[in-house]
Structure 1
Amino acid sequence: MTFFTRPSKRGACQRARLLCAASALAGIAFGSPPAMAQSPIPADLSANDEQRGRRDEIIVIGQGERESPSVYTVPVVAAATRLPLTLRETPQAVTVMTRQNLDDQQLNSVQNALEATAGVSSRTLDSERVTFYARGFAIDSFQYDGIPTAFVNGASFLDTAFFERFEVVRGATGLLTGTGNPSASINLVRKRPGRQFAASATLSAGSWDNYRGMADISAPLSRDGHLRARLVGVLQDREGHVDRYSQTKRSVYGIIEADLGPQTLVSIGYDHQAIRPEGTTWSGMPLWFSDGTPTRWPRSKSMTADWSRWDNTLDSAFLTLEHQFAGGWVARAAVMHQRSSSDARLFSGLGYPDRVTGEGLQPFALANYTRSRQNSIDATLSGPVSLLGRKHDLVFGIMANRRVANEFSSGFVLPSTPFGSIFDWTGAYPEPDFDAAPSSRTRTVTRQGAFYGAAKLDIVDQLKVIVGARVTFYDLEQKTALTSFEFSKSGRITPYAGAVLDLDSHHSAYVSYTEIFNPQTNRDRDGRMLAPTSGRNVEFGVKGTYFDGRVNASIAVFKSWLDNVGQIDPGRLLPDGTQAYFAANGTTSRGVEIDLQGEILPGWNTYAGFAHFVAESVGGGRLNAELPRTSGRIFSTYRLPGPLRALTVGGGVNWRSASFEPAASPLGPVQARQAPYALVSLMARYDLSARADLSLKVNNLTDRRYTVVNGFFNQVLFGEPRNAMLALTLRY
């Protein structure tokens, strides 16, 4: 079978082509300079917010001027309940990473953005694989404009240029997402076109030959602006701090919006991202020599082969229709189709090298090819009602999705060519004949349908109660050459309840109870699939809004439970040789989170957060010990006043506590420890004119040596040393 034969498509002139293309993109933004108006939807709002009556609002800020000042918070989110609520009215911890914050920190990938988000941590396995966590549990709920989707391979490298903001709702989010863990839900809100022409282009160059070009054009297609479009394109070519690693990215996003009438809006869009890394690592470097002494490798050292790669392609198409009825009611329907493919050729060395000769590693390799497609539909009806002399808000929704994934894997391949000395390793190793190796295929089909509803009840002037429920129908099928099983669940009810009490004109106290469930593929000793995990979250908190909504702050105390968690059944294997599991209750997480975002003084924007949790597995053990229990993040910018108004300066600190991971040294089991560390960043931006600025961002200013993999497969992989990126932005 020839699942794995596909030659790499790289050229020697790639960087030259990139720079030429980026220059062409920049030229788009600089023709004759007509008088411009800013996009009709401000940076902190989009059509996705379901805010009635805002579609015709136009904010004119002058020819080519930057929106002033920068925005680090938003007034309304709907990611928790589909009700348009302010952050203060939402009875869950919510963090928003706005477009301005992304630009100030030059966070150009989903991974960069989430690793800078308060309350979110990540676990890295190699150069391509990363899993995000909140409150001690993995985040497996991702949404595009509120439509739930699966997090596929390569999604962490998705470019952020397509999105207006990220909304992170922490805790159980089963009301809208259906399945998942009591961790968090990430909603990626796409950019929308405006009624007036606007364009921008950014050219960047940074450490390790990191070159990037981005163009963003929004234009009316009709004289009255009732038909309009937006196009965003990204070209990036970069190397990395790890030997032989490089990555190219080609991304495009387009959307057309049309006003079918005064009250009806239709949108159709498509995005494509092709991410092509070479020299990908598969874990890291050995932690110990064969005599048990620790290694100390340069941060750039890698065991990857020069043919290693992990290509990912992701495509999405969507259509939305929105209509406003009399009385403030809004109907909205959205459909989305997604396709993804992942093609990996991986290589590494396993074992412990000799401290003198560097020999003794066992080479091993793997080829994997995965294709998936998903169709989703979501429809809502929302609006106000009057009852007992008070106004209340309701939302009703129906959703359905189907996802099919086909995975082809060679399994571990053990080549016969010796690895040689790790000290002399250059990556020159023959690629195995993966097509000659036995291959396996896994086909997984998931279907989910649901009805849901929520209500914000105005009990008295100071008290709002939010209640909701979801009824889910779920089906999972998985087939391999040796096994086949199916799981279905009908009528699973997921409740939602919260209350918000206004303490004064600036502060509110809230309490909420949320649930979520997650089907699993583990089987018990009798071959029966374990029941879905069941997650619950109770949360108390206080939120504040200051300076006419320009600053939002919150503090939350929570406790989460996760039951029916699969645990290894010692000594029990199934007939096909796979491990048997049993279900156990009692996994818990509890902690506190503090969040601050907004413009605390004129020209001074701050984004800060602190999170601490204690998570215990069944029996009281430390759950996911490889995650830091405490983290703190702050990033702040200040635009100087008076004659220095053209200059904005800023900086930030990302700090995390220690983490541990079980590993096996040649002398026996150990706990590999990553000590606490802080990463310091600085930025500066200078306005060259009303239409151009130059910005510089420096990461890991102190050149801190830290690990992102420490113990996984008894190996270590180091994080990025000090690096910088210089960006020139031009706009109309």
Structure 2
Amino acid sequence: MKFKLHFALSSLVLAMGFPAYGQESSQEENIKKNDEKIESISIVGVRQNRVSKGATGLTMELNETPQSISVISSEQIENFAANSINDVMKMATGITVEQGETNRTRYTARGFDIKSTQIDGIGLPNDWGLVTGVMESYGYEEVEVIRGANGQLTGVGNAAGTINYVRKRPTNENEGEVALTLGSDALKRLQADYSLFLTESGSWAARAVAVLEDSESYLDGLEDDHAYLSVVVDGQVTDNSTITFGASYQDANSDGVMWGGLPLAYADGTQGDYDVSTSPTQDWTIWDTENISAFVEYSYIFDNDWEIKTTYNRQESDSYSKLFYVAGLDNSESNRVTRNSVGSYDGEFSANLFDLTTKGQYELFNQTHELMFGTSISKSNDLSFNNPYDKTTTPAYGINPVFPYPLDLTPEPIWQEQVETANLDVTLLRIFGSTKLNINDDLFVIAGFNAIDYTREGYNSGGSVDNEESEISPYLAATYSITEDMNAYISYSDIYEPQDRYDYNFQYLDPSKGVNYEIGIKSQWLDDAVLTSFALFSAKQDNIAVRAGINDLGKTYYEGTTMKSEGVELEVIGSLTENINATFAYTYMDIEDAEGENTSAWEPKNSVKFSLDYTLPTMPELMVGLGGRWQSKTENATGVVKQGSYLLVNAFARWNVSKSFAIQANIDNITDEKYITSLKNVGFYGAPINGSVKATYSF
């Protein structure tokens, strides 16, 4: 992994340009060649800047940015075979991956669900904080994680943070690769990535990424397959303007899925224990998803270097499921399930997002400052359907089976005609701006704001919905250069988050509000090859939805509560030597409720993440590495199901047989640790030791 201190960060960092160099020969022919060379390299330099520049777009290097930011690079993704976004997020500093069932996942940071996601700095809040189905990672150049309050980035959000997925875009070469992976549980994966010039000068280029994957699972009955395709084209429209457009498609199918996790809690308050492969599924269960996205981005740079950029994004997704659910066991002698049910659901989501931003420099008090301002509007529609079953012909679902049971315990229900249960339109209008004020050579201040108007219209199972919310959220931060290689910073942000949960009367709870503070020090070492970050954070958020019970209609309802999160983060990343690259991250977190009592016991108080890769000096074509994570003990909300501290270690080795051919082997969970994937909603056992081998041909 080659460590770079200049790259595009979704929060506040502008990608650095690359200089152009020409070669001289002699007289007329060489002058003509040089002119062509200069034109080509100029265009290439512009393309290198066509990456995610973040929602604020202010020019700062990572060590200057007054917020905690981590980047999972394409090199890290490749090294540890992180083929899904779940795998990528497991490597990110301060992030907990809560996988309560096979096809739905929550990412949390600093004690709160991450509900804001972006693609190239543009995106909608993810209201429920859930990621449904497999999310392929091969289509992204890197994944950026901004921890802490994200109102400055999205206009709404909580104290968790924002995930920004940076698309792969055309490169400066005609190049590509194709790779085949075979692994444990009958894993078969074929992937290809190719970038090419569409014009001789390189003014237009395209990149295509494709994946086919099929696998069984260590979990009984589970099988997955998915296909992914992404195409991006960018080009030079005029000397001052560029345009980029593209689309991606993913079709994912899962059989033998979980709806909820393992029934690990006995009624007498003791905890069950089973084989790692145990699943409460039935062989007719499925959960299929389809995701389509498309975008157009136009950028114009004026002669005074001010830039205006407009972006349009379209997102569509569909899901279809047939599910079997169990929860609770009566006692350890009988192992009889106390509750079970079935369900079949459809979901359709579509969104249109438009963003217009301008930025540039201005002079004031003999200093050069930066200014960014813009507006965005997003409109989305969420449709939900229920497929009820015929209870008169499928009486088996009143039984309380003994667990574990066979996967063909009950027949598939006879599903009745589909019923629409929700149809919601959400509109988010933003007006935002920020400025970087350079007080002197050592100190700059960032001041920003977001003014939003948020509306929801339609109906759900609780009845009609028609509400509108408005808010202005300020952001203030400062960075001070202690030395040439060390910067101290402090930041403040308001928290504003519309609720997606219901009260006793099945009306949306009032918005959750709060404040977020962070102070830290960032230092560069070894000629800027290593970056260390140390941060103290504190966030208080009121009216957070927590489950309160069942109302008279038999529906779950929620109440608002106050939570306070405080903690420490330490991160080290970079090249320790010419042959050794390393990352190390430590997070300590304490979460309290309104009474000052510890809460969210499923979140580890202490966690460590690390990676190390080493290129053999005597054999530079061979690279080996270790990575993993450790977390302290946790337990579920009732304290019945407990998880001791555990360490997971992964390893890889890659042999570059030639310039065009490489072989890589990966082994995950090399100590065969047994652990539970989530205690927030009680998950299942994580994967035991497993491995894969990949052969890659580059051209």
Letter in 2 for 1:81: T
Matched, 1:727 2:698: no
Residues 615, 77 of structure 1: CA spacing in aligned structure 2 closer, same or farther, 3 A cutoff? farther
Question: What is residue 683 of structure 1 aligned with on the other side?
Answer: 652
Answer yes or no: is the 8 Å Cα contact 2:270–2:641 preserved in 1.
no
Spell out the pairing of 1:165-204 with structure 2 (5 A cutoff): 165-204=142-181
Distance across 2 between alignment mates of 1:298 and 1:622: 32
Letter in 2 for 1:84: T
Distance across 1 between alignment mates of 2:301 and 2:427: 31
User: Post-superposition shift, 1:421?
Assistant: 4.4
> What TM-score do you get using the length of structure 1 for normalisation?
0.85
Answer yes or no: is the 8 Å Cα contact 2:7–2:16 preserved in 1.
no
Residues 525, 222 of structure 1: CA spacing in aligned structure 2 closer, same or farther, 3 A cutoff? closer
User: Post-superposition shift, 1:289?
Assistant: 6.1
Answer yes or no: is the 8 Å Cα contact 1:344–1:367 preserved in 2.
yes
Distance across 1 between alignment mates of 2:157 and 2:146: 13
User: Post-superposition shift, 1:354?
Assistant: 6.8
Distance across 1 between alignment mates of 2:419 and 2:585: 46
Distance across 2 between alignment mates of 1:289 and 1:521: 31
Question: Which of 472, 484, 505 matches 2:484?
Answer: 505
Residues 128, 182 of structure 1: CA spacing in aligned structure 2 closer, same or farther, 3 A cutoff? same
Count of residue pairs brought into register by the alignment = 661
User: Post-superposition shift, 1:728?
Assistant: 1.1
Question: Which of 257, 282, 303 matches 1:280?
Answer: 257
The secondary structure found in structure 2 opposite 1:385 is: strand
Describe the superposition over 1:118-162 as per-residue Cα deviations: whole angstroms up to 9, x where unpaired.
Answer: 110022211111101000000000000000224486556211111
User: Post-superposition shift, 1:711?
Assistant: 7.8
Question: What is residue 410 of structure 2 aligned with on the other side?
Answer: 429
User: Post-superposition shift, 1:434?
Assistant: 2.5
Describe the superposition over 1:658-691 as per-residue Cα deviations: whole angstroms up to 9, x where unpaired.
Answer: 111134xxxxxx5311101000111111110011
Aligned CA-pair RMSD: 2.8
Residues 617, 448 of structure 1: CA spacing in aligned structure 2 closer, same or farther, 3 A cutoff? same
Question: Which of 118, 133, 142 matches 1:143?
Answer: 118
Distance across 1 between alignment mates of 2:486 and 2:340: 60
Question: Which of 128, 134, 137 matches 2:109?
Answer: 134
Distance across 2 between alignment mates of 1:372 and 1:716: 26
Matched, 1:706 2:682: no
User: Which has the larger displacement, 282-291 or 97-106?
Assistant: 282-291
Matched, 1:541 2:520: yes
Letter in 1 for 2:56: T
Answer yes or no: is the 8 Å Cα contact 1:411–1:440 preserved in 2.
no
Question: What is residue 458 of structure 1 aligned with on the other side?
Answer: 438
Spell out the pairing of 1:314-329 with structure 2 (5 A cutoff): 314-329=291-306
Distance across 2 between alignment mates of 1:209 and 1:85: 46
Matched, 1:307 2:284: yes
Question: What is residue 240 of structure 2 aligned with on the other side?
Answer: 263
Residues 46, 540 of structure 1: CA spacing in aligned structure 2 closer, same or farther, 3 A cutoff? closer
Question: What is residue 23 of structure 1 aligned with on the other side?
Answer: none
Question: Which of 78, 82, 89 matches 1:114?
Answer: 89
Letter in 2 for 1:256: V
Letter in 1 for 2:87: N
User: Post-superposition shift, 1:308?
Assistant: 0.8
User: Which has the larger displacement, 360-369 or 697-706?
Assistant: 360-369
Question: What is residue 598 of structure 1 aligned with on the other side?
Answer: 574
Distance across 1 between alignment mates of 2:657 and 2:677: 38
User: Post-superposition shift, 1:172?
Assistant: 0.5
User: Post-superposition shift, 1:531?
Assistant: 2.3
Distance across 2 between alignment mates of 1:569 and 1:100: 45
Answer yes or no: is the 8 Å Cα contact 1:123–1:626 preserved in 2.
no
Question: Which of 501, 512, 519 matches 2:498?
Answer: 519
Question: Which of 595, 610, 615 matches 1:634?
Answer: 610
Describe the superposition over 1:331-359 as per-residue Cα deviations: whole angstroms up to 9, x where unpaired.
Answer: 11110000001111111334426756665
Letter in 1 for 2:447: V
Question: Which of 221, 241, 253 matches 2:230?
Answer: 253
Distance across 2 between alignment mates of 1:57 and 1:308: 60
Describe the superposition over 1:275-311 as per-residue Cα deviations: whole angstroms up to 9, x where unpaired.
Answer: 1111111223332567776533111111211111111
Residues 55, 266 of structure 1: CA spacing in aligned structure 2 closer, same or farther, 3 A cutoff? farther
Q: Which runs of 5+ in 1 are unaligned?
A: 1-41, 59-73, 664-669
Letter in 2 for 1:434: W
User: Post-superposition shift, 1:410?
Assistant: 4.3
Distance across 2 between alignment mates of 1:230 and 1:334: 19
Matched, 1:123 2:98: yes
Spell out the pairing of 1:688-699 with structure 2 (5 A cutoff): 688-699=657-668
User: Which has the larger displacement, 135-144 or 201-210?
Assistant: 201-210
Answer yes or no: is the 8 Å Cα contact 1:127–1:281 preserved in 2.
yes
Question: Which of 613, 616, 634 matches 1:659?
Answer: 634
Letter in 2 for 1:637: D
Letter in 1 for 2:163: I
Distance across 2 between alignment mates of 1:178 and 1:564: 18
Question: What is residue 210 of structure 1 aligned with on the other side?
Answer: 187
Distance across 2 between alignment mates of 1:497 and 1:47: 19
Distance across 1 between alignment mates of 2:402 and 2:16: 66
Spell out the pairing of 1:76-95 with structure 2 (5 A cutoff): 78-79=53-54, 81-95=56-70
Residues 529, 544 of structure 1: CA spacing in aligned structure 2 closer, same or farther, 3 A cutoff? same
User: Post-superposition shift, 1:603?
Assistant: 2.1
Residues 45, 540 of structure 1: CA spacing in aligned structure 2 closer, same or farther, 3 A cutoff? closer
Spell out the pairing of 1:642-657 with structure 2 (5 A cutoff): 642=618, 644-657=619-632
Higher relative contact order (CA 8 A, sep 6+): 1
Question: What is residue 671 of structure 1 aligned with on the other side?
Answer: 640
Residues 516, 316 of structure 1: CA spacing in aligned structure 2 closer, same or farther, 3 A cutoff? same
User: Post-superposition shift, 1:725?
Assistant: 1.4
Distance across 1 between alignment mates of 2:218 and 2:565: 36
User: Post-superposition shift, 1:535?
Assistant: 2.9
Question: What is residue 422 of structure 2 aligned with on the other side?
Answer: 442
User: Which has the larger displacement, 676-685 or 419-428?
Assistant: 419-428
Residues 250, 56 of structure 1: CA spacing in aligned structure 2 closer, same or farther, 3 A cutoff? farther
Question: Which of 374, 378, 381 matches 2:358?
Answer: 381
Distance across 1 between alignment mates of 2:244 and 2:440: 38
Spell out the pairing of 1:336-375 with structure 2 (5 A cutoff): 336-352=313-329, 362-375=339-352
Percent identity over the alignment? Answer: 27
Letter in 1 for 2:372: V
User: Post-superposition shift, 1:403?
Assistant: 1.0
Letter in 2 for 1:723: N
Distance across 2 between alignment mates of 1:671 and 1:222: 64
Answer yes or no: is the 8 Å Cα contact 1:214–1:234 preserved in 2.
yes
Letter in 1 for 2:442: Q
Describe the superposition over 1:472-528 as per-residue Cα deviations: whole angstroms up to 9, x where unpaired.
Answer: 1111224135511222123x1111111000011110000000123111145556776
Distance across 1 between alignment mates of 2:162 and 2:87: 17
Distance across 2 between alignment mates of 1:97 and 1:117: 7
User: Post-superposition shift, 1:583?
Assistant: 4.1
Residues 463, 215 of structure 1: CA spacing in aligned structure 2 closer, same or farther, 3 A cutoff? same
User: Post-superposition shift, 1:422?
Assistant: 3.5
Answer yes or no: is the 8 Å Cα contact 2:8–2:53 preserved in 1.
no
Residues 680, 51 of structure 1: CA spacing in aligned structure 2 closer, same or farther, 3 A cutoff? closer
The secondary structure found in structure 1 opposite 2:479 is: strand
Distance across 1 between alignment mates of 2:462 and 2:591: 36
Answer yes or no: is the 8 Å Cα contact 1:52–1:328 preserved in 2.
no
User: Post-superposition shift, 1:428?
Assistant: 5.0
Distance across 2 between alignment mates of 1:711 and 1:317: 34
Answer yes or no: is the 8 Å Cα contact 2:537–2:566 preserved in 1.
yes
Distance across 2 between alignment mates of 1:707 and 1:567: 23
Question: What is residue 30 of structure 1 aligned with on the other side?
Answer: none
Distance across 1 between alignment mates of 2:175 and 2:646: 42
The secondary structure found in structure 1 opposite 2:141 is: strand
> What TM-score do you get using the length of structure 2 for normalisation?
0.89
Question: Which of 446, 449, 466 matches 1:469?
Answer: 449
User: Which has the larger displacement, 150-159 or 278-287?
Assistant: 150-159
Distance across 1 between alignment mates of 2:690 and 2:546: 42
Letter in 2 for 1:452: F
